[in-house]
Amino acid sequence: MERIPILRMGEFLIVTIQVDMHDRLATRLQEDLTETISRTSATGVLIDISSVQVVDSFIGRVLGNIALMSQVLGAETVIVGMQPAVAITLVELGMTLAGVRTALNVDRGMHLLRRSHSRSSAPEGRHGSRGT
Amino acid sequence: MAAAEREVMTIRVETDVVVVRQRVRAVMVDLGFGVVDQTKMVTAASELARNALVHGGGGEVHLESIRNGGNVGLRLTFEDRGPGISDVQVAMRDGYTTANGMGLGLGGAKRLVNDFDIVSKRGEGTRVTIARWK
């Protein structure tokens, strides 16, 4: 059965979407991710969509669902690497991806995740306050 | 490979939607469209192909390269023989959904293209025609 791989790196899960997803593959990723978050107690999810050339309303909705469901399970989701043409198209389509955190690239996305992780695990420390 | 003047693709299963997206992208590239135009047209095609599959029970799409004076464009016609849409104006509204979607399919697709036309008859099916000009 075709699947998008989910990599685990410490507290975080990393997904790189490198195929043109049909709807069921996108829904399966959503299910696999929620299951993996709950099994591993991950605190952050990074989804790299830099190879994704089309985000239509269905895939946009799946990305929004992943962000919401991970939040309910105590993990934060960051979507990174959206191509400019995809961003322009999403806005005209009417999808704002409200509630979804985004970052320009993997480095910045990881920085965001580490910052919120260190904040929640050490509330009095001010680790990684760079850029706030 | 030059863009076909006219070709037809069937939409019967979910992976056909992906194949339609990829073919529309390739034809847009052949016609010399920029990446933003390509992405808008491919995204609109994806919405309409999914509609034909989910609401129309499958259908087909016709791809045609078109010309108007010196201007070049691509026209896509999506046809299904599904139940049809009882009120097209309502269905075009953002947020309208009968299936499991965001309700952005029809209205969203219209905003991504230059020309948009929809004809739907109860019990006979739906035909949506879109075009994007360079």
User: Dihedral of CA A22/A27/A32/A37: which sign?
Assistant: positive
CB-nearest partner of B18 from A20, A83, A88: A20
Q: Give Cβ neighbours of residue A72 (< 8 Å, ≥ 6 apart).
A: none
Q: How far apart are the first and last CA of chain B?
A: 19
Q: Is residue B1 part of a domain?
A: no
Domain containing residue B40: CATH number: 3.30.565.10
Task: List pLDDT tens digits, range A48-67.
Answer: 999 999 999 999 999 999 99
Under an 8 A CB cutoff, do A54 and B107 touch?
no
Residues of B in contact with A23 (CB under 8 A): 14, 17, 50
Q: Is residue A34 part of a domain?
A: yes
Q: Is residue A131 part of a domain?
A: no
pLDDT of residue A15: 98
Q: Give Cβ neighbours of residue A70 (< 8 Å, ≥ 6 apart).
A: A33, A34, A37, A45, A76, A77
Phi, psi dihedral angles at A104 (to 5 degrees): -65, -40
pLDDT band at B116 (very low <50, low <70, confident <90, very high): very high
Q: What is the DSSP letter of B31?
A: T
Scored b (16 or more CB within 10 A) or e, B6-32 reads eeebebeebebbbbbbebbbebbeebe
pLDDT of residue B86: 78
Domain ranges, residue A21: 6-121
Say whether residue A87 is in contact with chain B using an 8 A CB cutoff.
no
Pairing type for strands B6-11 and B59-68 reads antiparallel
Say whether residue A53 is in contact with chain B using an 8 A CB cutoff.
yes
Q: Is residue B86 part of a domain?
A: yes
Q: Is residue B57 part of a domain?
A: yes
In the predicted model, what is the mean pLDDT of residues B16-27?
Answer: 98
pLDDT band at A107 (very low <50, low <70, confident <90, very high): very high
Q: Is residue B112 part of a domain?
A: yes
Strand partners, A8: A13
Q: Is residue B95 part of a domain?
A: yes
Sheet with strand A76-80: strands edge to edge? A6-9, A12-16, A44-48, A76-80, A101-103
Say whether residue A2 is in contact with chain B using an 8 A CB cutoff.
no
In the predicted model, what is the mean pLDDT of residues B127-131?
Answer: 97
**Complex prediction ipTM:** 0.88
Residue whose tokens read 């997803």: A21
pLDDT of residue B104: 63
Task: List pLDDT tens digits, range A22-58.
Answer: 999 999 999 999 999 999 999 999 999 999 999 999 9
pLDDT band at A119 (very low <50, low <70, confident <90, very high): confident
Say if residue B3's pLDDT is above 70.
Answer: no
When divided into structural domains, chain A yields a total of 1
Whole-model pTM: value is: 0.89
Residue B2 to chain A, least CA–CA distance (Å)? 22
Domain ranges, residue B66: 6-133
In the predicted model, what is the mean pLDDT of residues B43-71?
Answer: 95
Residue A24 to chain B, least CA–CA distance (Å)? 8
